[in-house]
Amino acid sequence: MKGLYDNEMKLEFLSKSSNEAFARITVAAFVSQLDPTIEEISDIKTAVSEAVTNCIIHAYEDTDGIVKIVTRLIGNTVEIEISDSGKGIENIELARRPLYTTKANLERSGMGFTIMESFMDEVEISSVVGIGTKIIMKKKIKKIENTTDIKEECCSKTIV
């Protein structure tokens, strides 16, 4: 029976900054089965890195918590859900605004959500103060028709 998605992976890790690279590399490795371009992969890695960093420095404020990532492949679309049980976002609209940051002392640029939104096709944020935050990002991987393979097939047929 065909499910709602073609493939899925789940990841849970402690909110340690050393896991930022682990998270983006793991998601990128899973997504690679859709045959994305280098640009698409680095867009996804950057967006994941931003979301995971938010969980670590904002949601849990450098205390230990669990960050969860669920990645689903639906046709050519990647859906990445990143959630935490941290402090939540009081004003989502303000948080989304470019250059807005509550952590200027940490030299944060306030570009996290802006990058997620422009590197992915869709970004959905839901948050409850004191309960946690969930972000769902989607990106369609464009299929490049492999014309060289077809040509080669034609050629070999004519030779035969």
Helix (H, G, I), strand (E, B) or coil at 150: helix
* CB nearer to other proteins: pick between 7 and 118: 118
Nearest alpha-carbon partner for 119 in 31, 28, 43 = 43
Cα(64)–Cα(159) distance, rounded to whole angstroms? Answer: 65
* Residue 18 interacting with other proteins (CB under 8 A): yes
- Is 54 labeled as catalytic in the residue annotation? yes
* CB nearer to other proteins: pick between 49 and 71: 49
- Which residue of 1, 2, 4, 38 would you call a contact of other proteins, by CB under 8 A? 38
Cα(63)–Cα(103) distance, rounded to whole angstroms? Answer: 16
Site for other proteins in 59-88 (CB under 8 A): none
- Which residue of 70, 88, 118, 140 would you call a contact of other proteins, by CB under 8 A? 118
* CB nearer to other proteins: pick between 121 and 152: 121
β-bridge mates for residue 128, sequence order: 132
